[in-house]
Amino acid sequence: MIRAQQPGSQPIDIPEVIPNPVVVPKQEPVPKGPAPKEPVKVPEKVGHERQHR
């Protein structure tokens, strides 16, 4: 926020960033923390094949 002030007048807060009024915003998810690590997937056949060796 930028604060503009003239002597004897109330200060005015000027925003540094505003949305462009002609662009319709798209809703995108915002991350709130790291995603949990994906579990390691073990192919089902591995255990099965071992039994045959």
Partner 1 sequence: MPYGYKLEDLLAILHDRAPTKADAVALDRRRVEHGLLSVGLKIHHLGKGRQFFSLVERLGGASNVLEINMYKHSQASLCLVLPPVGNARAAIALSECIERFTGCALFGNQKIQIQLCSPGRLDARRSALLAIGFYLGSDTLRRYALGDLETTVSRDVRYRRGQRLVIYDAGGDFDRGFEWWDRSGNGKDRLIRPQLPFENGRSDLLTGNGSRLDIENINLLATLLVHAKYQGYWSKLGEQFEEDMQSLLDRHLLAGLVNAPWVRTGYAERAGDMEFFSALQELVAYVFEESVRVKKKSSILFSRWHEIPATSSRGILHEMQSLLQKYRTEVVRQSRLHDKGGHT
Give contact residues for partner 1 (rule: CB under 8 A).
2, 14-23, 25-26, 28, 30-38
* Nearest distance in Å: CB 16, partner 1: 5
* Nearest distance in Å: CB 10, partner 1: 19
* Nearest distance in Å: CB 28, partner 1: 7
CA-CA distances (angstroms) from residue 21 to 16, 18, 24, 29? 15, 8, 8, 21
Nearer to partner 1, 22 or 46 (CB): 22
Distance of CA 4 to the CA centre of its chain: 32
